[in-house]
């Protein structure tokens, strides 16, 4: 029998009970969820908060009407599913749902009840789907994985060592990454090096201000289409926002504070001169690394059978209505590129800066956030400078750059590149 609630206090108590019960069952980021204590609040709203973001608001009220000469209760509260991106004004994406005194409501033109509505707004894991995911992972020998459900993103999260699965256990090429390298090279334009001489610092740019910001999203895009916004598709099926890459836009803002410095293990390399040394008109600075701040870029071979297996699992499950995400992606997405870029021999430093530490520059129309670091702070020691084959005004620039580099950066040796000529 459907219960008829007759007062705000009565229905608030039931709403809070159901919400507490629901939040207690969340198994990903459980500690990031909270519920306003309405018993001690002067406000009527009951608010569900995720990581400081209001995601759902229940506002009890009583709407009275006169039916057959008698005063009747016709409604009890409204529920608002709140659009969560604080950085972009999209109030029209908030969804109001009116619930009556029997805890019945309409959502997207379908009748439902409050407890069933919570299955949509605050969904939990389906054990049959968890079992299905585990079965598919077992088939490809991705073992010791734990599968949980992320209520906020509406995705199943696979927690497992994706690096070991993709790289360390694969001996197809017999390549072992040497993490003990101590010398790395940074190719740059003449102007960039002059700025370095003036500041005696090295600039790390936001990873979102790279020429190709899609590198950051490459691993997730390729393995499981990680940036498709499942939550928007459920709550706002007619909105163009998720179709226009809304979740990716949100990640751009989220990742903006991650700064990157790119280096190569290729010494005086013709191709690197062409790509990053301004066609030989720039310089290449050699660094001695005095800590383990640099990490190698992992080059993902799209034809690798293990890579294909992971993508096939995600695709197959997606077709069955199960969206998954590999949690380990967050460890490697700043250090992974396609195999086609392996010739760069790239290593990276990634640092995180606060909003207050960031400066803003314009790089040919691209908003670039950056911070300048002391070399010592990053464990970098400049030791040698290579001057490009096409450096302008060699008769003046060569001796002056040698002098400035030794005095300002303590560079021990300056020499012309062994790459004698480069087409520009």
Task: Kindly report the three-state secondary structure assignment for every residue of 95-135.
Answer: EEEEECCCCEEEECCEEEEHHHHHHHHCCCCCHHHHHHHHH
Q: Is 29 helix (H, G, I), strand (E, B) or coil?
A: coil
> Has residue 112 got a pLDDT over 50?
yes
| Mean pLDDT, range 159-171, rounded to an integer | 75
Residue 296 has a pLDDT of 93
194-203, 237-246, 344-353, 372-381: least confident range: 237-246
Classify strands 298-300 and 336-338 as parallel, antiparallel or unpaired. Answer: parallel
pLDDT for 276-288, tens place per residue? 999 999 999 999 9
User: Please, which pLDDT band fits residue 164 given cuts at 50, 70 and 90?
Assistant: confident
Whether residue 299 contacts residue 373, with contact meaning beta carbons closer than 8 Å, is answered with no
Residue at which a domain ends, from 121, 137, 157: 121
**Residues 115, 171 within the same domain:** no
Q: Do 114 and 178 belong together in one domain?
A: no
Mean local confidence (pLDDT), 351-358: 95
Range of the domain at 381: 127-416
Token pair for 58:
């229940």
Mean pLDDT over the full length of the chain: 85
284 torsion bin: left (phi>0), alpha (psi -120 to 50), beta (else): beta
Q: How far apart are CA 133 and CA 286, in angstroms?
A: 48
CA–CA separation, 215 vs 311, rounded Å?
Answer: 18
Residues 230 and 81 in one domain: no
Q: What is the mean pLDDT of residues 31-40?
A: 75
Statement: residue 43 has pLDDT above 50 = yes
Residue 345 located in a structural domain:
yes
The stretch 98-109 carries a mean pLDDT of 82
Give me Rg for the CA atoms of the chain.
28
Residues 228 and 373 in one domain: yes
Residues 181 and 67 reside in one and the same domain: no
| Residue where a domain stops, chosen among 121, 148, 172 | 121
The reply to whether 81 falls in a domain is yes
228 and 328 share a domain?
A: yes
């Amino acid at each position: 029998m459907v219960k008829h609630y007759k007062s705000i206090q009565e229905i608030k108590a039931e709403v809070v009970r159901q919400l507490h019960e629901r939040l207690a069952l969340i198994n990903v980021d459980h500690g990031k969820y909270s519920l306003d204590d309405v018993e001690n609040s002067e406000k009527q709203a009951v608010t569900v908060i995720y990581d400081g973001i209001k995601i759902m608001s229940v506002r009890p009220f009583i709407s009275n009407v006169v039916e057959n000469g008698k005063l009747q209760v016709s409604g009890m509260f409204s529920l608002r599913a709140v659009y969560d991106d604080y950085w972009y004004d999209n109030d029209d994406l908030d969804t109001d749902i009116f619930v009556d005194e029997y805890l019945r409501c309409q959502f997207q033109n379908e009748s439902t009840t409050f407890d069933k509505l919570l299955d949509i707004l605050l969904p939990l894991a389906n054990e049959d789907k968890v079992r299905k995911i585990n079965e598919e992972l077992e088939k490809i020998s991705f073992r010791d994985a734990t599968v949980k459900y992320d209520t906020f993103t509406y995705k199943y999260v696979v927690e497992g060592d994706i690096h070991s699965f993709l790289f360390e256990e694969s001996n197809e090429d017999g390549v072992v990454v040497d993490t003990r390298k101590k010398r790395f090279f940074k190719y740059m334009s003449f102007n960039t090096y002059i700025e370095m001489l003036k500041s005696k610092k090295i600039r790390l740019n936001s990873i979102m201000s790279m020429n190709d910001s899609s590198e950051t999203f490459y691993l997730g895009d390729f393995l499981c289409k990680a940036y498709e916004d499942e939550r928007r598709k459920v709550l706002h099926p007619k909105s163009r926002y998720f179709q226009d890459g809304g979740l990716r836009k949100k990640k751009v803002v989220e990742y903006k504070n991650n700064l990157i410095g790119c280096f190569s293990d290729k010494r005086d390399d013709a191709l690197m001169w062409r790509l990053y040394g301004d066609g030989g008109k720039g310089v290449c600075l050699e660094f001695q690394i005095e800590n383990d701040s640099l990490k190698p870029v992992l080059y993902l071979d799209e034809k690798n059978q293990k890579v294909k297996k992971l993508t096939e699992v995600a695709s197959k499950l997606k077709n069955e209505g199960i969206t998954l995400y590999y949690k380990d992606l967050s460890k490697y997405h700043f250090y992974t590129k396609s195999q086609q870029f392996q010739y760069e021999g790239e290593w990276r430093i990634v640092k995180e800066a606060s909003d207050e530490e960031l400066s803003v520059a314009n790089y040919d129309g691209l908003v670039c956030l950056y911070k300048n670091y002391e070399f010592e702070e990053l464990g970098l020691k400049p030791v040698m400078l290579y001057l490009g084959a096409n450096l302008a005004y060699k008769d003046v620039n060569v001796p002056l750059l040698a002098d400035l580099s030794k005095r300002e950066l303590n560079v021990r040796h300056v020499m012309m590149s062994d790459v004698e000529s480069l087409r520009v």
